[in-house]
Amino acid sequence: MIILKTKRSYSKVQLSTIQVQLEGIAEWGNTCLENGSFLLNYIGCAMCNKRDFMLIANKSMKEEDGEEIVTYDHVCKNCHHIVARHEYTFSVMDEYQEYTMLCLLCGKAEDSISVLPDDPRQMAPLF
């Protein structure tokens, strides 16, 4: 269970709705979103109770030690409540491009793709 600390007070019904929405982070294998929202997981905004498209706000991109980090907030289109914080990373390690995503709305995922024409991990042994 994910516990959120907030300055707002919620009724028990609202709090249980938030906990149900956030119980466990979906794992999507190797699908990493650099931008956008994965709305299949979205039940509705905990503040206005509407299920609508998300806005992206506070988007930032920075590079640290050869790693590209993109972060942004998923914001409710109707009441501008911040629904979740999204983080996407990209880096090149040895001969592989590494991707990761972590977000309460979109889930978590990671992927690794060879920069070589033939991925050494996919090749069959000769013996």
pLDDT tens, position by position, 53-108: 889 999 999 998 889 999 999 999 999 999 889 898 999 888 888 988 888 888 88
- Going from the N-terminus, what domains does the chain have, and what CATH number goes with each? 28-114 (2.60.40.4240)
Collapsing DSSP to helix, strand or coil, 16 comes out as: helix
Judge if pTM exceeds 0.75. no
Bridge pairing between strands 67-76 and 82-93: antiparallel
Lowest mean pLDDT among 16-20, 42-46, 52-56, 118-122: 16-20
Place of tokens 């060879």: 114
CA distance 14 to 45: 11
Q: 14: pLDDT confidence band, cut at 50, 70 and 90?
A: very low
Eight-class DSSP state of 26 = -
